[in-house]
Amino acid sequence: MKQIYRYLITQIWNERRSNIALLLELFIIACIMFIIVDAGWCMHLLYSEPMGSDISHCYQLETKFFGEDSPYYDTSPDGESVKYETRMNLLEMVRNDENVEYAAYSMGCAPYNLSAMISGYAIDSTFVSARLVVCQPDFVHLFRLQSQNGMTAQQMADALEKNEVLISSNLVEGDSARYLVGKMLSAWDGKHRVAGLVQPLKRIEREGLDNECSKAYIFRLERGDIENGWLDFSVRVKAGRDRQFEERIRRQIKDRELRVGNLFVSGVKRYETLREEIMAQDRTTLQMPLMIGGFLLFNVFLGLLGTFWFRTQQRFPEIGLQKAMGATRSDVALRLMCEAVILLSIAFLPSILIDYNLAVRGVTRLYNGLTFEGGRFCITLGLTYLILLVVILVGIWFPTRQAARTNPIDVLRNE
């Protein structure tokens, strides 16, 4: 095998003038493919990150108020002063359903809700900008939030009940967030003790944990002038009771049974359905770059197929002589494929320098606040080389197969 490689390298060097165009083509393709593969790898990492919440068996209830023009309008007092009590009464009514495990209000922070309230805060001498997650204590149980400093779900819920706060573990760089536990957080409504760390919450899959909206404080829901449209009403159904819950609540919605004053439940939707709707939008957004990448790969395949087909046709006399000297079909195919691999490797080496500069200068996709990371760079380079290697081997397989089947007598006679 070493003798074959030595022979091929010598031959490539002797034919360097005719190989320049092919090497330049492979070099340009390698640089372009690196950017495409890097973007695809970053998307894979984004969608692989944990959401920080569990939406299985969870539902979102839509609530509305009857207007004065509605025949169902309740003329009894229902001003701003009693809306909080009205919401709590409706919450308790849903919570009493035998199929419901947990129910809670939250303010624009449930999974797949793209709202975000971001502001600046101070913890001791540390100033941060973070997303405010306003919720009731049962929000922790409902979406199965995980602690990052050993707290149980009930301990986190109790902390929120005492008007303490939880901060996400990625609030500050490195593991510095754990040193903020026990400190006092200064907010617009006073100071609150930081009770513990919680796993970061992502709103949607395509947002990375470095996104500002994924760095969160969690407060409990206070009584206040909060518009109903801001609130998410979420429930977790007991395992195995989804069908019974859906049948019952849809009947109750139809019959206007889930009503307190002028507030009523107007609809229900699975969080898994919300996720599918968001993912469908993401797939639509990604269709164009995927089509461009696929079209480029197809053109690379056709170009390399044509190039190697032409090169193989030119070498038919040489191949016929090799077969006449005892070379088998496998020997001919192996030689041609090894030559293609060597040419790709020669063109790929200088592309690494270009790819490095593209990443350092921020041309590649931003992920974790960076465009260059050592591990990511090596993985993307490896994937780029592997993809091009597969494309080249598939492209050269057709002319190689034809060349390996050549009858040496016919070739030498034609010569």
Lowest-confidence range among 54-58, 198-202, 256-260, 316-320?
A: 316-320
pLDDT mean over 56-82: 78
| Alpha-carbon distances of 168 from 115, 142, 154, 367, rounded to whole Å | 18, 18, 17, 19
Phi/psi for 214 (5° steps) reads: -95, 5
For residue 80, what pLDDT band results from cuts at 50, 70 and 90? very low
Task: Report the chain's terminal Cα–Cα distance, integer Å.
Answer: 30
pLDDT tens digits along 201-221: 898 988 888 887 888 888 877
383 burial type by CB count under 10 A (0-12 exposed, 13-18 middle, 19+ buried): middle
pLDDT for residue 61: 94
Mean predicted lDDT score pLDDT of the chain: 83
Lowest-confidence range among 58-62, 167-171, 225-229, 275-279?
A: 225-229
H helix runs in 255-328, sequence order: 271-314, 316-324
For residue 116, what pLDDT band results from cuts at 50, 70 and 90? confident
Distance of CA 72 to the CA centre of its chain: 45
pLDDT mean over 189-195: 88
Higher pLDDT, 335 or 167: 167
Lowest-confidence range among 280-289, 302-311, 374-383?
A: 302-311
pLDDT for residue 223: 64
pLDDT for residue 405: 66
* Residue 223 backbone class (left: φ over 0; alpha: ψ -120 to 50; beta: rest): beta
Lowest-confidence range among 111-125, 257-271, 280-294, 361-375?
A: 280-294
For residue 84, what pLDDT band results from cuts at 50, 70 and 90? confident
pLDDT tens digits along 309-331: 777 666 666 666 666 665 666 66
pLDDT for residue 11: 65
For residue 53, what pLDDT band results from cuts at 50, 70 and 90? very high
Report the percentage of the chain scoring pLDDT > 90: 31
pLDDT for 57 beyond 90 = yes
pLDDT mean over 46-72: 88
pLDDT mean over 380-384: 94
pLDDT tens digits along 348-365: 999 999 999 999 988 888
Considering 61-65, 286-290, 353-357, the range whose residues carry the highest mean pLDDT is 353-357
* Residue 295 backbone class (left: φ over 0; alpha: ψ -120 to 50; beta: rest): alpha
Q: What are the residue boundaries of the structural domains of the chain, listed by start?
A: 2-49+283-414, 74-261
pLDDT tens digits along 389-412: 888 888 777 777 766 666 555 555
H helix runs in 65-167, sequence order: 80-95, 138-142, 153-161
| Cross-strand partners of 100 | 237
Phi/psi for 364 (5° steps) reads: -80, 175
**Rg of the chain over CA atoms, in angstroms?**
32
pLDDT for 24 beyond 70 = yes
Give dist(CA 243, CA 237) in Å, integer.
10
**Are 191 and 140 in contact, with CB atoms under 8 Å apart?**
no
pLDDT for residue 4: 59
Report the percentage of the chain scoring pLDDT > 70: 83
Give dist(CA 61, CA 186) in Å, integer.
33
pLDDT for residue 114: 86
Sequence-ordered list of residues with C-beta below 8 angstroms from that of 350, at least 6 positions apart, any chain: 27
